[in-house]
Chain A
Amino acid sequence: MSRVHPEYDESRLVVDGSIRVAEDGDPVLVGTECADCGFVVFPTRSFCRNCLSEDVQDIDLSREGELRTYTVAHTGQEGFEPPYAFGFVDLPEGVRLYSLLDGWETGTLEVGAPVELTLDEVRADPETGEPLFGHRFRLLDAAGGATGGGAGD
Chain B
Amino acid sequence: MTEHDVAVVGVGQSDFGELAGQRVTEFGGRAVREALLASNVDNDGIEEAYVGNVASAAQDQTGVVGQAVLREVGVTGIPITRVENACASSTCAFREAYERVRSGERDVVLALGVEKMTGVPTDVALKDMSGASDAEVEGPMGMTFMGVYGMRANAYTDRFGDVREELADIAVKNHRNGLANPRAHLHLDIDREDVLESRMIADPVRLLDACPMSDGAAAAVLARGEVAERLVDEPVYVDAAEMSSGHYLDSDLEYWREELDERVSERAYREAGIGPDDLDVVEVHDAATVGELMHYEGLGLASHGEGASLVRNGDVMLDGRIPVNPSGGLKSRGHPVGATGVAQVCELVWQLRGEAGDRQVEAPEIGLAQNSGGALVGEGGVSTVTILSTR
Q: Give residues in A with beta carbon < 8 Å to B.
A: 14-15, 18, 39, 43, 49-50, 68-80, 84, 86-88, 90, 94-100, 110-112, 122-123, 134
Contact = CB atoms under 8 A, between A and B. Distances in A.
Contacts of B151: 69-71, 87-88
A98 B137 contact: yes
B37 interface: no
A100 B144 contact: no
Contact of A74 (B136, B200, B251): B200
A122 B150 CA distance: 21
B356 interface: no
B362 interface: no
Contacts of A96: 251, 253, 377
Interface string B129-152: 010001011111111101100111
A100 B377 contact: no
- The 6 A-B residue pairs with the shortest CB-CB distance, nearest first, are A71-B150, A111-B158, A80-B142, A96-B251, A69-B155, A72-B203
Contacts, number: 106
B38 interface: no
Interface residues of B, number: 35
Contact of A97 (B123, B130, B137, B147): B137
A15 B155 contact: no
Interface in B235-256: 249, 251, 253, 255
Interface in B108-163: 123, 126, 130, 134, 136-144, 146-147, 150-155, 158-159
B140 A98 contact: no
A75 B202 contact: yes
Contact of A73 (B130, B134, B150, B378): B150
B312 interface: no
